[in-house]
Structure 1
């Protein structure tokens, strides 16, 4: 029967097998494709199903099975697609299609979406597929100055002050007057190996990572207190974090607590950064790997001035102590 129906060995054709996967032949009968658009950091990514009732089903099926798998991008915003194939026998196989890896396949997967994505999300994805040009440096006429930053770090019981400079854009010399920032960093270490294990990575998002709590629930601000945020805007998400037990801060100084920062993709998503004991910031976007660099591959000395992709709103600083409850 299998010889009549035909078989497709998805492992050889480029499918990435990472969970509940058939290790032998995948029988190409009545296959449906579940597509996940990997674009958000905090909220759930858009998902939809492509079956033979979809007008471009044949095109998607051919493209998915003929193009090799590629790694997902790790930038904020659009990173690629995750495709799960399921046949009538319940066999499953997976493939990842990374950002800007195959324009035809990425466009086909995007066109198969029946959800009606928001225009900002559509722009982010299409720009990522087509490879939108980077903005020209200095095109807005801003004055670039360098802000002195002082970090107090503990070394063998002694506090040592480390000084460095970060670039900050300002519209006038009057606005460029800056005061140094003093911050005693907490003891949390950048240990990506604890977060990049497959099961942990996929079930814990940026909120879990920034607060250093592996709940395996893809935690949402406010859900731990029973009152989740209702709008994806700065004040609403920030207030939800306070209900979960985080501390309100007006400056990047958390005292004895750990310092984290909240940023917003207006109307679409949230993202968090945390300050580690080495004086730099790290983060984890959605289901991706934990990392300590921004979207320009630079170490993060200040999340306010880091390359944050579409997360254009800096919502504020927060302190994370022992009484934070996540869910």
Structure 2
């Protein structure tokens, strides 16, 4: 018993000594690390809070970046979040100063699909480089973003940059030409075309998308079909994407309507239309009480013209850019639609 007691006391002493040594080592390491830490020795993953800025790309995406960096966002989607990249401020500054065409975009109205770039943390307010305003700057920013984009999307954006720039400089864009379809009776609607409600406040414009606008509900959450009712949109396989968005819209309380003729269905209430960029994104239009359709592409302003700057009498025959699949019409009413988010 005496020998056992001695061994137990000895083992406890060894354990205590080991713990003390570990504590001393950790303390010294911490002390030395703090004492020798300055702005130049910080890990690249560490951001000094006194020189950091917070950027809200979306309600669910808050970035904290150092003041010497900027965030470049490719504005290309309407329903889902846009891709972005963090870049050194000096590099972007040289690029923007190399050409000043982007400062004078003229009367460019970005349509569906590629709309331009937004640069955050470069100036007091976000800087927008409109589609077709400056082919050099736009191409340069696309090259920096290309590592995170698939080849098909890169080719699409590059083609749009060249096409829009050529149209702008050749003055080939038409203005205010309505599509045919006046012979069909116009269904009733209670929504008014009031773009200032969605466009005048940056917070509202940035945080509400085409689904918010079509439903006429401001949630400031960049609403997604079905998200409030436990449905997640799937993009795999790509051919099921449109059906997944369609189902999410239904579970939120919008009622699908058949469209078996060239005339619009008479919903009796408010009519919305869903189009799909196959495998990538979705977009909604809504019919207003003036008989015309309007829409809000992603974080950009609400408008009542299509990609060719034509008034929209029927989204099935409008210029919808890459959203080439017409998925269907829906009946909507703010009293019937379950909470969207």
Same fold (TM over 0.5): yes
Instruction: Report the counterpart of residue 304 of structure 1 in structure 2.
Output: 316
1:213 maps onto 2:217 in alignment: yes
CA distance in 2, matches of 1:96, 1:302: 30
1:77 maps onto 2:113 in alignment: yes
Instruction: Report the counterpart of residue 188 of structure 2 in structure 1.
Output: 185
1:123 maps onto 2:155 in alignment: yes
> Unpaired segments of 5 or more residues in structure 2?
1-54, 57-65, 168-178
Q: Is the 8 A contact 1:254 1:318 kept in 2?
A: no
Q: Is the 8 A contact 2:119 2:127 kept in 1?
A: yes
Q: 1:58 to 1:195 in 2, by over 3 A?
A: closer
1:248 maps onto 2:256 in alignment: yes
Match of 1:268 among 277, 280, 295: 280
Instruction: Report the counterpart of residue 283 of structure 1 in structure 2.
Output: 295
Instruction: Report the counterpart of residue 37 of structure 1 in structure 2.
Output: 74
Larger Cα-atom Rg = 2
Q: What is the TM-score when the length of structure 2 is the normalising length?
A: 0.67
After superposition, the C-alpha distances for 1:250-284 in whole angstroms (9 at most, x for unaligned) are: 13435333100000011111000001111111111
Instruction: Report the counterpart of residue 139 of structure 1 in structure 2.
Output: none
More helix by share: 2
CA distance in 2, matches of 1:30, 1:284: 32
Instruction: Report the counterpart of residue 327 of structure 2 in structure 1.
Output: 315
The answer to which of 290-299 and 232-241 deviates more is: 232-241
CA distance in 1, matches of 2:315, 2:73: 28
Alignment of 1:1-327 (within 5 A): 31-51=68-88, 59-68=91-100, 69-71=103-105, 73-85=109-121, 94-113=126-145, 115-131=147-163, 164-165=182-183, 184-197=187-200, 198-231=202-235, 233-251=241-259, 252-253=264-265, 255-321=267-333, 322-324=335-337, 325-327=339-341
Q: Is the 8 A contact 1:211 1:320 kept in 2?
A: yes
Give secondary structure in 2 for the equivalent of 1:215.
Answer: coil
CA distance in 2, matches of 1:188, 1:117: 37
Give secondary structure in 2 for the equivalent of 1:185.
Answer: coil
CA distance in 1, matches of 2:152, 2:283: 16
Q: Is the 8 A contact 1:205 1:285 kept in 2?
A: yes
CA distance in 2, matches of 1:193, 1:94: 19
CA distance in 1, matches of 2:185, 2:229: 31
Instruction: Report the counterpart of residue 8 of structure 1 in structure 2.
Output: none
How far does residue 297 in structure 1 lie from its aligned partner after superposition?
1.3
Q: 1:85 to 1:199 in 2, by over 3 A?
A: closer
Q: 1:100 to 1:114 in 2, by over 3 A?
A: closer
Q: Is the 8 A contact 2:67 2:121 kept in 1?
A: no
How far does residue 99 in structure 1 lie from its aligned partner after superposition?
1.2
Q: How many residues align?
A: 251
CA distance in 1, matches of 2:187, 2:162: 43
CA distance in 2, matches of 1:194, 1:94: 20
Q: Is the 8 A contact 1:60 1:105 kept in 2?
A: no
CA distance in 2, matches of 1:104, 1:310: 23
Over the aligned positions, Cα root-mean-square deviation in angstroms equals 2.6
Q: Is the 8 A contact 2:113 2:321 kept in 1?
A: yes
CA distance in 1, matches of 2:185, 2:152: 37
The answer to which of 116-125 and 219-228 deviates more is: 116-125
Q: Is the 8 A contact 1:70 1:98 kept in 2?
A: no
CA distance in 2, matches of 1:230, 1:44: 15
> Unpaired segments of 5 or more residues in structure 1?
1-18, 21-28, 52-56, 135-145, 150-163, 166-180
Give secondary structure in 1 for the equivalent of 2:199.
Answer: coil
